[in-house]
Structure 1
Amino acid sequence: MAPPKLNEYERKRLENIRRNNEMMAALKVHSKATALSNHSKIVAKSYTVKLEKKPKIETPIVIRRSLRTRGIPPDSKGLDLDANSDSNTSTHNSPNKVEKFVQTLGPISMKDAYKGTDDSDRSFIESLVSMSNKGLLEEELEGPAKKKKTECSFELESLSLDPENIARVVPGRITQVRFFPSKDVNMIAAGNKFGDIGFWNVGESEIFLYHPHAAPISGILFQQHCLSKIYTSCYDGFIRLMDAEKEIFDMVYNSSDNACIYALSQPKNDANCLYLSEGKGGLAVLDNRIGKCSSHWDLHGARINTIDFNPQSSHIVATSSSDGTACTWDLRCIGGRKHTALRTFAHKRSVQSAYFSPSGSSLATTSMDDTVRIYSGVNLEDETSVYHFNQTGRWLSTFRAIWGWDNSYLFVGNMNRGVDIVSTVQKATVKTLESPHISAIPCRFDAHSFEVGMLAGATSGGQIYVWTSS
């Protein structure tokens, strides 16, 4: 069979292919391409690296589970305030020091407890001893002192904060601050969460610091008729009496069941008895004449945060509690298994404080439900509620509104580093004390008993600001 005839295009195509093959043969292109291909395969094979798998390290996975899911009951003491210690104060109380004070049930000398920067506290002790006979009760005030205390009207605009009236008195968070109840001195005692007690004479540079306790200070009381003797209570269940004449911190009470002491108070007409908040809602009476508690009543379902006596009727006491209530009680009628309050003031959340006014006719409460409430009337039946943001968080001491020098105003800190002033007449916050000198939030306050317009505000950084009336 004859091959098919090629057209002109196909003949030209075959001719081009033949010519290209001749040119490539002359240049030896095919042989070089084959050699390069074989060389690449050899190189790739010679440099092949076999990777070995690293052994997998088995690390245990820690699963955080709550006490409730593990079936363990919660700690009755609640949150440990010492867990929030700042880095700059963590070395202030080493574990060895804490252990030493926990085991010391007897007296501690002021020399051993002294932690101040000055070489000696001798000048401070001598000044306290000189005040030993200058403790004043209301009925002992005569002449100008009595007039100054009863006539306590002043202008809010006159309150000012001077730089010389600012000092860091203790390290860490201040839980208690008190003016000495004396018309002759403007001295402050402050307690912190580490168990320290610091003393500062306003306007002076010396700070006298002591460490008589191993846990947060919950109360500071000056012994009536003798300012050189000061009671201090603590979450560790101890009450000590600082006696400047004997130069010791004496042990006057130790909770037998290791219960925390959350508050300490004393009626003005009874120098022998101390009232303390102990454990879960308990109120105990410590009789110093017998050296033990003479009475104990379970009044609340949770811890009692404050104890305050009516200045006109010392048998009437107000308590605030974390169970969401504040109550007034007649101590003459408490007894038996069931205790009935005169009045119960219910709040939506924990009540941090309940304080009688200077006249005893009103009661002010501060609650975590963001209110400051004022109860007045014959039976405290009239209620005024003022909104106030009280969510301080875990790093600050809780806000507690205090009375000034009459029934007109309440003073309470705010989260903007100011002091809100609540008017009982206008039933609202009428002014906020502010200053460029304030670098931290004042949380706890005290008004000087004999210096109208002198107000101390304490912070969680250990500072104390003192406003004065110009």
Structure 2
Amino acid sequence: SPPQEFPRSDPTEPRSPPQELPPSDPTEPRSPPQELPPSGSAEPRSPPQELPPSDPTEPRSPPRELPPSDPTEPRSPPRELPPSDPTEPRSPPQELPPSDPTEPRSPPRELPPGRQLRVLLTPLPEAAWPRAQKRLPSPRGPASKRPCPEAESGPRAAPGSAAGPSSDARGQDGLWDADSDGSDGGDAVPDGDSHLSAYERKRLKNITENAKFFAALKLHESAARLNQLTTKRRSRITKRAKPKKVEDEPARRRSMRLLRVQPTDLPLVETLAQPAAEEYPQVPAGPLPMVPEDEAESSEWTEALLGTWMRISELNTDHADRGTPDIKRYQESLSSMVLSEGNVRKVVKARVCSMAIHPSQSTILVAAGDKLGHVGLWNVSSRSEEGAHTFTPHSFHVSCMHFSPCNPAHLLSLSNDTLRCADVTRAVFDEICRSEEDFSCFDFLEENACTAIVSCWDGAVAVVDRRTPGVSPELSADIGFRRTRTVHVHPLNKHYFLAAGLVDVCVFDVRYLKAKGNKPLSSLKGHTKSVASAYFSPGTGSRVVTVCADDKLRVYDTTSLSSSVTLLSSIRHNNNTGRWLTRFRAIWDPKQEHCFLVGSMAQPRQIQVFQDTGTLLHSFCSEDYLTSVCSINVVHPSQNILVGGNSSGRLHVFK
């Protein structure tokens, strides 16, 4: 702006003393400099007023011409301004409109002689400079314009110096032209965003360039074209025609309850759906011919097997000398028994649930029953491939098998619904007893094997007499068990039998059995979970061994059958066989009164022999041929022969 002319001061006019100004507030906007009126020589001069800091971006005006001062005129001393607080915020500098350089300037006006204008400029400290505040970027101006740059990096320009290009490089809208030579490469920002840092300006630049890059790829157009192509392809797919229903297909029954229809309102469907074919058909009642499962009629190999069974049964099987050897000799005999490759054979198709061994001393004949109702016969001494044959006398799993003690030509087998006797002399499977209740185990009440005690899964027991015509039991008695797994008759006192249930093991007297209200003679306590088996010792019946699901083998002293029986030993043993293995059954060795055998889950697979005191005497194992768990075992009554059966129907003979 052009310099202003002030009237000349009268040197004779007295000057006023200097006035003290209040401390200025840095946050309060400052008023522009005021024009001083002409003063007389006697009038005191006012102190110079502080002018606001100049905008570094505003073009500077030319210096003003001041008149020469009168040396004779007394001058007022300069006033000291209070120091400014650097912590107080300062108001941002106000932008002045750019001046037009083409506009003619007015000539400077001359001041009257003796008058002089003094301006005191005080620079601000660096801590009081205005600080940048973050703001969200907003689109301003057309796409071809870029915001004006502001130098943030490097030292700041001093107040009053020019910062940035001149206003000539700006457009009409206050933005920098992106195509101008003074462009900073896209880092410029609008004037309103001049407070942004270099990092934020770089970030805005990257966002803009990425947006342009993705716009150049035309992803939306490509996605639209792909969507059109997939839509056209789907329209060409044709659905497969549904097959026509067979006309002679029987009508399918529908639930009246789901249809909410009363049974009286809807007539019964005359043609019902045929029942699904069962994998194993039900075995008919009555006698069955002794014909192998895979053969329509008896073959030469079957005739040879049945002939061998008949021949060895006619021989005298009674052995008067059954002396019990001492433990040392017995242990030596166990060590001499080995398993060879020829003594391993798959006899039945499924998991072995029961076994029996013929008492003959000349020939080893083993019978095994599986969970599908098959009965397999294996002549171990034949050494031929056709030495084993499988029969199907039952519809369900065969849970118990015994050769008749008085006539080994009879093999009795028990399933869920029937008790049958395989008579090799007539080559038939006779039906002895049939019931709607599920059978679980049986044992002979007499030496002639005419009567037997049969246990049921629901807890009851039944007495069966083979001499009575018909297939119904003679007596059914409730002994108070919820489930009965095994029954075993005392070897000397045949009227006593041992029953094992869930957690109950008791001794009953068959002479006092009645339909309900039966009380046990003795109870074997201490079991906390279900009991799998309980058997008397073979010679005197003075010991009872039990297998419990609480991983314990218990031996009781039953010399005197009183109300409570003494526990002799408790052996820790893993009895957790799971659902795919038959539960363990500890059996006594007929040749040794105080030793029993049981399967094992230990590795390598083995069959263990324990003494009634809990001592482990021997373990039958073979790393080459015994590779599975033998849950069911049987011992020859007079020879050192042990047979173990696994869950795949395979038998292992140690001899």
TM-score, length of structure 1 as denominator length: 0.76
- Normalized per residue, which structure has more helix? 1
C-alpha change, 1:14 and 1:420, in structure 2 (3 Å) is: same
C-alpha change, 1:162 and 1:355, in structure 2 (3 Å) is: same
Structure 1 counterpart of 2:597, one-letter code: F
Structure 1 counterpart of 2:566, one-letter code: D
What is the aligned partner in structure 2 of residue 397 from structure 1? Answer: 582
C-alpha change, 1:254 and 1:418, in structure 2 (3 Å) is: same
Pair 1:370-2:514 in alignment? no
Task: State which of 517, 524, 546 in structure 2 corresponds to 1:338.
Answer: 517
Structure 2 counterpart of 1:382, one-letter code: T
Matches within 5 A, 1:170-249: 170-203=348-381, 204-205=383-384, 206-235=387-416, 237-249=417-429
Task: State which of 608, 618, 637 in structure 2 corresponds to 1:420.
Answer: 608
Pair 1:410-2:592 in alignment? no
Structure 2: gaps (5+ residues): 2-97, 103-161, 183-214, 235-275
C-alpha change, 1:13 and 1:399, in structure 2 (3 Å) is: same
Task: State which of 499, 516, 527 in structure 2 corresponds to 1:319.
Answer: 499
Structure 1 counterpart of 2:378, one-letter code: W
Write the distance in 1 (CA, Å) between the matches of 2:391 and 2:380.
18
What is the aligned partner in structure 1 of residue 117 from structure 2? Answer: none
Write the distance in 2 (CA, Å) between the matches of 1:333 and 1:110.
39
What is the aligned partner in structure 2 of residue 68 from structure 1? Answer: none
The question of whether the paired residues in 2 share the 8 Å contact of 1:113 and 1:211 is answered with yes
The question of whether the paired residues in 2 share the 8 Å contact of 1:266 and 1:273 is answered with yes
Write the distance in 1 (CA, Å) between the matches of 2:357 and 2:445.
17
C-alpha change, 1:374 and 1:3, in structure 2 (3 Å) is: closer
Task: State which of 438, 444, 464 in structure 2 corresponds to 1:286.
Answer: 464
Measured after TM superposition, the shift of residue 459 of structure 1 is 0.6
Structure 1 counterpart of 2:338, one-letter code: S
The answer to which of 117-126 and 238-247 deviates more is 117-126
The question of whether the paired residues in 2 share the 8 Å contact of 1:402 and 1:411 is answered with yes
Matches within 5 A, 1:248-259: 248-255=428-435, 258-259=436-437
The question of whether the paired residues in 1 share the 8 Å contact of 2:335 and 2:618 is answered with no
Write the distance in 2 (CA, Å) between the matches of 1:319 and 1:402.
15
* 1:144-197 deviation digits (Å, cap 9, x = unpaired): x33256447522433322222221111110000111122332211000001011
The question of whether the paired residues in 2 share the 8 Å contact of 1:135 and 1:225 is answered with no
Structure 1 counterpart of 2:414, one-letter code: S
Task: State which of 286, 292, 302 in structure 2 corresponds to 1:106.
Answer: 286
Matches within 5 A, 1:8-19: 9-10=165-166, 13=169
Write the distance in 2 (CA, Å) between the matches of 1:19 and 1:353.
98
Measured after TM superposition, the shift of residue 339 of structure 1 is 1.2
- Matched residue of 1:154: which SS? helix
The question of whether the paired residues in 2 share the 8 Å contact of 1:277 and 1:303 is answered with no
- Matched residue of 1:332: which SS? helix
The question of whether the paired residues in 1 share the 8 Å contact of 2:406 and 2:448 is answered with no
RMSD over equivalenced CA pairs, Å: 3.5
Write the distance in 1 (CA, Å) between the matches of 2:408 and 2:315.
7
- Matched residue of 2:305: which SS? helix
- Matched residue of 2:320: which SS? helix
The question of whether the paired residues in 2 share the 8 Å contact of 1:280 and 1:304 is answered with yes
What is the aligned partner in structure 1 of residue 111 from structure 2? Answer: none
* 1:303-346 deviation digits (Å, cap 9, x = unpaired): 3211111112212211111x211111222233363212111123
TM-score, length of structure 2 as denominator length: 0.56
The question of whether the paired residues in 1 share the 8 Å contact of 2:543 and 2:557 is answered with yes
C-alpha change, 1:207 and 1:5, in structure 2 (3 Å) is: same
* 1:411-450 deviation digits (Å, cap 9, x = unpaired): 111113211222223x233443221111210001111011
Structure 2 counterpart of 1:110, one-letter code: M
Structure 2 counterpart of 1:369, one-letter code: D
Higher Cα radius of gyration: 2
* 1:202-258 deviation digits (Å, cap 9, x = unpaired): 2433111111111100221223432222111101x1112212222111222211xx2
C-alpha change, 1:317 and 1:39, in structure 2 (3 Å) is: closer
What is the aligned partner in structure 1 of residue 453 from structure 2? Answer: 275
What is the aligned partner in structure 1 of residue 442 from structure 2? Answer: 264
The question of whether the paired residues in 2 share the 8 Å contact of 1:134 and 1:225 is answered with no
The question of whether the paired residues in 1 share the 8 Å contact of 2:366 and 2:379 is answered with yes
Write the distance in 2 (CA, Å) between the matches of 1:366 and 1:39.
78
The question of whether the paired residues in 1 share the 8 Å contact of 2:324 and 2:593 is answered with no
What is the aligned partner in structure 2 of residue 57 from structure 1? Answer: none
C-alpha change, 1:114 and 1:327, in structure 2 (3 Å) is: farther
Structure 2 counterpart of 1:443, one-letter code: S
Task: State which of 619, 627, 635 in structure 2 corresponds to 1:447.
Answer: 635
